[in-house]
Homo-oligomer: A and B are copies of this chain.
Amino acid sequence: MNIGGTSTAAAPPPWRALLADAMHSNAHLNYSSYFQLATVSANGRPANRTVVFRGFQDGCDKIQINTDSRTSKIEEIRHCPYGEICWYFTESWEQFRINGRIDVVDTSNRDLAKQQQREKSWFTSSLRSRLQYLGPSPRLPVLHEEPSTNHELDPLKGPVDTFCLLVFYPEQVDYLNLKRNERLLFKSSHSCNESVVWQLEKVNP
Which residues of chain B come closer than 8 Å to A55, judged between CB atoms? none
Q: Flag if A50 contacts B140 (CB, 8 Å).
A: no
For window 44-78 of chain A, which residues contact chain B by CB distance below 8 Å? Answer: 44-50
Whole-angstrom CA separation of A40 from B97 in the bound complex: 14
Contact A203 B142 (CB under 8 A): yes
Which residue of the partner chain, among B47, B80, B203, contacts A84 with CB atoms under 8 Å? B47
What residues on B are CB-neighbors of A39 within 8 Å?
Answer: 46
Interface residues of A in 88-137 (CB under 8 A from B): 88, 90, 95, 97, 99, 135-137
Does A85 lie at the interface of the complex (its beta carbon under 8 Å from any beta carbon of B)?
Answer: yes
Distance from A99 Cβ to chain B, minimum over Cβ atoms (Å): 7
Instruction: Count chain A residues whose beta carbon lies closer than 8 angstroms to a beta carbon of B.
Output: 48
Question: Known contacts being A44-B40, A84-B45, is A95 close to B203, with CB within 8 Å?
Answer: no
Known interface pairs A139-B185, A203-B141, A204-B140; A45-B5 also in contact (CB < 8 Å): no
| New A-B contacts (18) at CB < 8 Å, excluding given A39-B46, A48-B48 | A4-B145, A36-B48, A36-B88, A38-B47, A38-B84, A40-B40, A44-B82, A45-B82, A46-B48, A46-B83, A47-B97, A47-B99, A50-B95, A90-B90, A138-B205, A139-B174, A141-B201, A141-B202
Which residues on A are within 8 Å of B, measured CB to CB? 4-6, 29, 31, 34, 36-40, 44-50, 80, 82-86, 88, 90, 95, 97, 99, 135-145, 174, 183, 185, 201-205
